Amino acid sequence: MKVYRSIKPLIEEIGRLKRKQKSIGLVPTMGFLHEGHLSLMRRARRDVACVVVSIYVNPIQFGPKEDLRKYPRDLRRDTDLCREVGADICFIPDTRTMYPDGFSTYVNVEDLGDTLCGASRPGHFKGVTTVVAKLFNIVRPDTAYFGQKDAQQAIIIKRMVADLNMPVKIKVVPIVRERDGIAMSSRNIYLSPDERKEAVSLRRSLDLARVLYANGERDPREIIKKMRRAILKEKDAKIDYLSIVDLKDLKDINRISKNALVAVAVKIGKTRLIDNVILSNSQTA
Ligand code: PAF
């Protein structure tokens, strides 16, 4: 596996691969890799000739009060894992490389980035789309891989790719869960054992939504009411949002008639966790 820390040699390597007509897959990450990331890499490994993994904690997607400084990092372990999974290239830039002095161009997907996570993390998705657009320009992947756990992020990136005619296919890979049902996240490490037990309530509430839907409930308000109750049983849980939205435009819906995204964000103590499930037409009791 080749490791690149600067952009120019990586672009040259990508040029060589393109001339040999090798297909390229990109897995963008912020490191502290877990099974969720590895499932994206394994999927890429199956699909393409050359798997590129980027590891970069992107400061412009963190708000001033967020956990940028203490965001978990373990580069040695990350590169070992990339190698084990069979990645070909690991790109590990620093911030001077990604945002040199004078940097002033941002990519912003309007509206879709203002709801759900965007409402409580203003500017977050602008930071995500900017760094992802830069990575797409550097790596020029045929396919890029994102996790369903960050459902809103995947929807926004698809919108950016369509709007800006970027020649890349976006693949969204299912959520990987811990044994207790919590969606894998680098932030799970912040949870104390007691908080971890409370964090299972996100998954429990989503299971409840699935059961209610399978039994014929189509009123989002009814589902949300019961989910809210399930989460608020936990003493340290504070709901940031709990929404049932249209899968395409992320707008609230009055009645579930086609595929809907049930998305939750909950703070357990100081840790903000997100999770989601798609209620699809084909789902029955
Ligand atoms: O999902 C993430 O880890 C990040 O938002 C991403 C896509 C790597 C951009 O920094």
Residue whose CA lies nearest to ligand 1 atom number 5: 128
Q: Is 22 exposed, middle or buried (0-12, 13-18, 19+ CB in 10 A)?
A: middle
Question: Domain 186-279, what fold?
Answer: Pantoate--beta-alanine Ligase; Chain: A,domain 2 (3.30.1300)
**Ligand 1 pocket residues where CB is under 6 Å:** 28-30, 58, 61, 128, 131-132, 150, 153
For all residues of the chain together, what is the average pLDDT?
Answer: 96
Question: How confident is residue 281, by pLDDT bands cut at 50, 70 and 90?
Answer: confident
Closest by CA to 160, choosing from 230, 110, 98, is 110
Ligand 1 centre to CA of 41 (Å) is 14
Residues of the chain with CATH 3.30.1300.10: 186-279
Q: What is the pLDDT of residues 74-131, one digit of tens each?
A: 999 999 999 999 999 999 999 999 999 999 999 999 999 999 999 999 999 999 999 9
| Helices and strands, number each (H, E), in the chain | 9, 9
| Ligand 1, atom nearest to 135 Cα | 9
Give φ, ψ of 145 to 5 degrees: -115, 130
pTM beyond cutoff 0.95 = yes
Ligand 1 centre to CA of 284 (Å) is 34
| Ligand 1, atom nearest to 186 Cα | 3
The average pLDDT across 4-12 equals 98
Q: Helix 7-19 crosses helix 124-139 at what angle (to 10 degrees)?
A: 50
The average pLDDT across 226-239 equals 96
Query: Hey, is 211 helix, strand or coil?
Result: helix
- Extract the tokens encoding 13: 């390597």
Q: Which residue has the tokens 């963190």?
A: 62
CA-angle at 213, arms to 212 and 215, nearest 5°: 65
Q: Which residue has the tokens 């709007």?
A: 163
Q: Which secondary structure element, helix H or strand E, spans residue 267, and what is its range?
A: strand 260-268
Q: Which residues 6+ apart lie within 8 Å of 137 measured at CB?
A: none
Ligand 1 centre to CA of 28 (Å) is 6
Q: What is the pLDDT of residues 147-173, one digit of tens each?
A: 999 999 999 999 999 999 999 999 999
* Strand ranges across the sheet with 169-173: 2-4, 89-91, 50-55, 24-29, 143-147, 169-173
Residues of the chain with CATH 3.40.50.620: 2-173
| Ligand 1, atom nearest to 132 Cα | 9
Ligand 1 centre to CA of 150 (Å) is 9
The dotted CATH code for 2-173 is 3.40.50.620
